[in-house]
């Protein structure tokens, strides 16, 4: 049996409607390789999955789905890795329900990286959350970690971009659609770059649309491929907490970045920390927990908001030093300092700022605009402002 025939049998097994991953693995456990399943008699197959599914499995193969998948896998840079393939990522064999097939774009060897870290979080990330994700990803990628995330908007996007900003950085995108689709479409250029520098992987057949149920399920692959999961921002009940739970179940480390007690996107992280996740402020905290060497010193930043235009780009490998945020504050005018002092570090609305700073609304708006243009604060939904 040739390699293409062998792969066709695997595709046939996974493309039969109603025969999900659990039943696929049960059949493989009972009969061995897929060609043996299809060579077994109806009664033998029915004893594992029932008569109805046995009839579906032993019906003529759907070549209209198998042939396009074979053609896709034959294209340069595309691969289909089976559960029986020697190149199947060993780390995924440690999770409760490893995918039977992986559709891969890019360098499939990256899936077996010995040092990978997942960075996940809210799709509706705050500017400071996205900045933290990007900075952590870049610093950790610079230390040799492969960054794993889900290609979603918000924290995922920032994590992938941070890894790619590092000259030798590598990132893995685990997606919830077919590997021939990009969701969200806005991330198509990012997906192309990931396929060139790292790898995109999906367990779903080609053409699979972005069905809501697919994304929580793909999170087990994100957790399984990684030595640990870093949650940057997450609301209570978010998909990121599902990833963290799955990471714990398969023996991975869980890290979380704390945030403001007033931010809904910090509450998921705070819950994780209460439940035993490692609180992290710098990339060095993650590296130390994973027993990896810290990155070479760079101008660095703690967890913070978007980078100030007056401050050099930094990585969260050590605390901010004087000469960065402090000196930028010293160059502010007295009225600007007054507003920044009134703002503190939590999001505030204009009415509260007016009361705290003792300024008129017109004067306050002028100062807020100047501070925003100078990179000292950012405008949030709902007419609120947050210091960076």
DSSP state of 235: -
Question: What DSSP character marks residue 219?
Answer: H
Clarify whether residues 182 and 235 are in a common domain.
Answer: yes
Task: Indicate if 267 and 349 belong to the same structural domain.
Answer: no
Identify the burial level of 252 via C-beta atoms within 10 angstroms of its C-beta, where 0-12 means exposed, 13-18 middle and 19 or more buried.
buried
For residue 100, pLDDT over 60 is answered with yes
- pLDDT exceeds 60 at position 311: no
Residue 313, in any domain of the structure: no
For residue 52, what are the contacts with CB-CB under 8 A and spacing of at least 6? Answer: 18
Helix extents (H) in the chain: 3-14, 21-31, 34-39, 42-49, 51-58, 63-73, 127-142, 155-165, 188-197, 214-224, 239-249, 264-274, 283-289, 325-330, 334-343, 350-357, 361-373
Could you tell me if 277 and 131 lie in one domain?
Answer: yes
Residue 54's domain is classified under what CATH number?
1.10.150
Return the H-helix or E-strand segment holding 171: strand 171-174
Q: Kindly state whether residue 173 falls inside one of the protein's structural domains.
A: yes
Same domain assignment for residues 154 and 210: yes
State how far the Cα of 349 lies from the Cα of 386, in Å rounded to an integer.
9
> 231-290 pLDDT, tens per residue?
999 999 899 999 999 999 999 999 999 988 888 899 999 999 999 999 999 999 999 999
Is the pLDDT confidence value at 155 over 60?
yes
Mean of all residue pLDDT scores within the chain: 88
- Which residue, of 233, 254, 289, is where some domain finishes? 289
Whether residue 93 lies inside any domain: the answer is no
pLDDT at 329 (0 to 100): 56
Using 50, 70 and 90 to split pLDDT, how confident is the model at 362? Answer: confident
- Is 301 a member of any domain? no
Q: Phi, psi (5° rounding) for residue 196?
A: -80, -35
- Would you place residue 324 in the very low, low, confident or very high pLDDT band (cuts 50, 70, 90)? very low
Would the pLDDT of 312 be above 60?
no
Same domain, 259 and 377: no
Q: Following DSSP, what letter does each residue of 259-279 receive, concatenated?
A: --TT-HHHHHHHHHHHTTPEE
Residue 346: helix, strand or coil by DSSP?
coil
Q: What is the CATH number of the domain that holds 155?
A: 3.40.50.450
Among 228, 234, 264, CA closest to 248: 228
| 300 within domain boundaries | no
Whether residue 155 is found in the same domain as residue 265: yes
| Eight-state DSSP code of residue 255 | E
**pLDDT, tens digit (0-9, with 9 covering 90-100), for 279-295:** 999 999 999 999 986 54
- Asked which of 236, 271, 289 is the last residue of a domain, the reply is 289
The last residue of one of the domains, among 289, 322, 346, is: 289
CATH code of the domain in which 342 resides: 1.10.10.10
Same domain, 182 and 282: yes
> Residue 378 sits in which domain range?
332-387
Are 241 and 148 found together in one domain?
yes
The band of 298, judged by pLDDT with boundaries at 50, 70 and 90, is very low
In this predicted structure, the answer to whether residue 317 has a pLDDT above a threshold of 70 is no
Looking at the structure, tell me whether residues 183 and 264 fall in a common domain. yes
Q: What percentage of the chain exceeds 70 in pLDDT?
A: 89
- The count of structural domains within the chain is 3
Look at residue 14 in the predicted model and tell me its pLDDT.
96
Cα 358 → chain centroid: 43
pLDDT digit string, tens, across residues 341-353: 888 777 888 898 8
């Amino acid at each position: 049996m040739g390699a293409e025939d062998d792969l066709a049998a695997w595709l046939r097994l996974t493309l039969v409607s109603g025969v999900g991953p659990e039943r696929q693995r049960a059949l493989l456990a009972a009969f061995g390789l897929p060609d043996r399943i299809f060579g077994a008699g109806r009664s033998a197959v029915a004893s594992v999955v029932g008569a109805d599914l046995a009839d579906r499995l032993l019906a003529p193969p759907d070549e209209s789905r198998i042939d396009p998948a074979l053609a896709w896998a034959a294209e340069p840079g595309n691969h289909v890795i089976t559960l029986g393939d020697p190149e199947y990522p060993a780390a995924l064999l440690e999770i409760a329900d490893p995918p039977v097939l992986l559709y891969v774009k890019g360098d499939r060897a990256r899936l077996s990286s010995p040092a990978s870290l997942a960075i996940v979080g809210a799709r509706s990330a705050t500017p400071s959350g996205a900045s933290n994700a990007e900075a952590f990803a870049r610093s950790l990628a610079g230390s040799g970690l492969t960054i794993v995330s889900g290609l979603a908007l918000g924290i995922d996007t920032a994590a992938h971009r941070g890894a790619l900003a590092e000259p030798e950085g590598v990132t893995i995108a685990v997606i919830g659609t077919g590997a021939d689709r990009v969701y969200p479409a806005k991330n198509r250029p990012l997906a192309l770059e990931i396929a060139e520098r790292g790898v995109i992987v999906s367990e779903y057949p080609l053409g699979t649309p972005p069905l809501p149920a697919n994304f929580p399920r793909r999170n087990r692959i994100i957790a399984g491929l990684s030595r640990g999961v870093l949650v940057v921002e997450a609301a209570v009940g978010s998909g990121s907490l599902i990833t963290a739970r799955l990471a714990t179940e398969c023996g991975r480390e869980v890290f979380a970045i704390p945030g403001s007690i007033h931010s809904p996107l910090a509450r998921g992280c705070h819950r994780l920390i209460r439940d035993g996740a490692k609180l992290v402020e710098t990339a060095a905290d993650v590296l130390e927990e994973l027993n990896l060497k810290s990155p070479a010193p760079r101008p660095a930043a703690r967890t913070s908001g978007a980078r100030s235009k007056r401050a050099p780009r930094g990585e969260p490998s050590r605390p901010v030093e004087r000469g960065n945020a402090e000196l930028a504050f010293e160059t502010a005018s007295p009225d600007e300092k007054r507003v920044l002092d009134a703002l503190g570090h939590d999001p505030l609305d204009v009415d509260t700022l007016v009361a705290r700073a003792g300024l008129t609304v017109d004067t306050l708006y002028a100062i807020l605009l100047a501070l925003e243009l100078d990179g000292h604060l950012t405008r949030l939904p709902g007419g609120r402002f947050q210091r960076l």
